[in-house]
Amino acid sequence: MDVILKQDVDRLGAKNDIVNVKNGYARNYLIPQGFAIAATESARKVVAETLRQQSHKALKALEDAKVIGEKLAGLSLTIGAKAGESGKIFGSVNNIQLAEALAAAGHTIERKSIDLGTEVIRDLGSYTAKVKLHKEVVVEVTFEVVAE
């Protein structure tokens, strides 16, 4: 029996895939749990149209991410932090502060998409962070931590 998956199912397929499964598995598990629908001709047309629209939206999102990435590539930020005489920061600089600095520069970036790496920033100086705008677009942003 052919079914159209409504969401990702482990070891079976991804959302909107048309897969062939045994009748009992489809009728007793996939369809009642809401994981799939029967692959009728009209349902196949709906899925094809949905995939066509999603590919258009994904292409638009990729283009937008590339434009934002070009703007961020040449950007250099300054983050102020309270520091002692030896150059050590009281606390540390994290992705929240970097997101706020990017917002002050006019770029709204979600803090979850900013990766500072494994190092903890506790000293004054220059650093780089990776900003993931899209799964294919990752930009490195340089920023400097200065004493307030």
Question: Given the structure tokens 């199912």, which residue do they identify?
Answer: 9
Say if 2-60 and 68-147 have the same CATH topology. no
What is the model's pTM?
0.63
Average confidence (pLDDT) over 127-148 = 89
The pLDDT tens digits for 53-105 are: 888 888 898 999 899 889 888 888 999 989 888 888 898 898 899 999 999 98
Q: Which CATH architecture has domain 2-60?
A: 3-Layer(aba) Sandwich (3.40)
Please give the pLDDT value at position 53: 87
Taking the domain 68-147, which CATH number applies? Answer: 3.10.430.100
How high is the pLDDT of residue 30?
A: 96
Is 1's pLDDT higher than 90? yes
Give the SS3 label for residue 115: strand
Neighbouring-strand partners of residue 128: 142
Measured distance CA(80)–CA(65) in Å, rounded: 28
- Cβ–Cβ contacts within 10 Å for residue 67, how many? 12
- 3 state SS of 108: coil
Mean per-residue pLDDT, 122-139: 89
- In the chain, domain spans: 2-60, 68-147
